[in-house]
Amino acid sequence: MKTADIAPFFATLKAANPMPVTELEYTSVFELLVAVLLSAQATDVSVNKATRKLFPVANTPQKILALGVEGLEGYIKTIGLYRSKAKHLMQTCRMLVEQHGGQVPRSREALQALPGVGRKTANVVLNSAFGEATMAVDTHIFRLGNRTGLAPGKTPLEVEHKLLKRIPPEYLVDAHHWLILHGRYVCLARKPLCWQCAVAPYCDYTPKTPQPG
């Protein structure tokens, strides 16, 4: 993607969705952290179904700990890898209580020190909860970075660094959400919906099949 195309690419996405937000449901920074931790290799829809039952009962580190591992598993067993996620979440809650006064830390280093929290999860929390201009590269953003030519890279970290470098500052805080939503609903993995894509004029990708009508 040419540098001159990047600003209109994001201006178009912004015009369609001026205030993008994550599709994970949460009402506090801790709830967001839990939801993102549970969302690894799972859909936001499945996570939301589970947390709608979990959060009314336990929405603080202390309350999660009070559930115990088996109690927590009962709420999240419909989510993939729920046993390991329950274990990590219990360990994370313990660290939050013992080291951070029950609060979610605002630094990347402290977030990534929590069990089950990797760079992507930390970036989501820093961006969505604290408004920092970070780029959480999931499968959708990795695909879009390469397919569109916006930020080609062989690893998520390489794509992340290129995105942070190429995206104009005025779009950076919201870019993570725009790209994820675009990848989830338009720029699909197997068959991108190029004929209904508003940013197709700026994209490097050439559809390999005839477009409808």
204 is catalytic: no
Catalytic residue among 5, 14, 85, 120: 120
Catalytic residue among 14, 44, 87, 138: 138
120 is catalytic: yes
Q: What is the DSSP string of the chain?
A: --HHHHHHHHHHHHHH-SS---SS--SSHHHHHHHHHHTTTS-HHHHHHHHHHHTTT--SHHHHHHHHHHHHHHHHTTSTTHHHHHHHHHHHHHHHHHHHTTSPPSSHHHHHTSTT--HHHHHHHHHHTT--------HHHHHHHHHSSSS--SSHHHHHHHHHHHS-HHHHHHHHHHHHHHHHHTS-SSS--GGG-TTGGG-----SSPPP-
Enzyme catalytic residues? 120, 138
